[in-house]
Amino acid sequence: MNTSDVSNIIQLGGTILKTARSMEFMTIEGREQAYNNLKSANIDALVAIGGDGTFTGARIFSQEFGFPIVGVPGTIDNDLYGTDFTIGYDTALNTIIEAVDKIRDTATAHERLFFIEVMGRDAGYLALNGGIASGAEAVLIPEADTDITTLENFIQSGFRKSKNSSIVLVAEGDKAGGAFQIAKQVENDFPQYDVRVTILGHIQRGGSPTASDRILASRLGIASVEALLDDQQSVMVGIVNDEVELVPFSRAIKYDKKLNPDLFKAIKILST
């Protein structure tokens, strides 16, 4: 392998590369087939873009066949240990705030209670930061154990007095239930509110990437190939405090990234 391939490799990415969960790859026969395909195509190493699941598979494959794989963190949830940001997160976050901005336009006009469901089955990065950035009145995330009574007390206390609108961001994985369940119960308990629901769904996974995501992907793309040229394997390349770092797959998979407590404080101050 030599450096002249670098630019070709890093041109790939995003929606150009197709992606799918493979059932066959979960069997040893499927992985053998994959290994043979790689060999017959003269491919000597792989850059695997993804999250926990991708790296778990990559680690097993690498161990079984002695095949060098370096990982690049790509998930909109931003919950990977070993990197400050994951590719896709900034784009998804901007998609969310553009959506909330549009809803707020009529929120000021109509006096309503809006529940907006965003992605993040296990991690509240998108909901929490989306809430701070869009000025949501409340945010429900998996990391905080908000029950619906707490939310209803908050609603009853009148949200923020100086604001006309009432927007609640709900992470899809929140323990209180999806946005629809929550909306139904609140509507039941507060019939005076006109409650509306938006489910962003896969809108959050597409769109033209932001500048931050492109620069991150460019830097990590370069770093991943450099790592392979340097005989690294079974590591994820990440960026921590603006410097490239290598993290063994085993650690990236095992540990969780914690939300910065400053952000909890921020949403509290801003929505009070």
Q: Which stretch binds a second copy (CB under 8 A): 7-15, 40-48, 50-58, 168-176?
A: 7-15
Of residues 160 through 179, those in contact with a second copy by CB under 8 A are 160, 162
2 part of the interface to a second copy, by CB under 8 A: no
95 part of the interface to a second copy, by CB under 8 A: yes
Q: Which stretch binds a second copy (CB under 8 A): 42-50, 63-71, 106-114, 136-144?
A: 106-114
CB 82 within 8 Å of CB 246: no
Of residues 220 through 249, those in contact with a second copy by CB under 8 A are 222, 241-242, 244
Q: What is the DSSP letter of 259?
A: P
DSSP-assigned beta bridge partners for residue 248: 235
- Give the closest residue to 137 by CA, choosing from 113, 167, 177: 167
Mask for 13-42, x = binds a second copy (CB under 8 A): -xx-xxxx----------------------
Which burial class, exposed, middle or buried, applies to 227 when counting CB atoms under 10 A from its CB (0-12, 13-18, 19+)? Answer: buried
CA distances from 149 to 175, 182, 189 (A): 13, 11, 10
Of residues 51 through 90, those in contact with a second copy by CB under 8 A are 84, 90
CA distances from 123 to 118, 127, 253 (A): 11, 9, 14
45 vs 62, beta carbon nearer a second copy? 45
> What's at 177, amino acid-wise?
G
10 vs 253, beta carbon nearer a second copy? 10
103 part of the interface to a second copy, by CB under 8 A: yes
201 part of the interface to a second copy, by CB under 8 A: yes
- Give the closest residue to 180 by CA, choosing from 103, 202, 188: 188
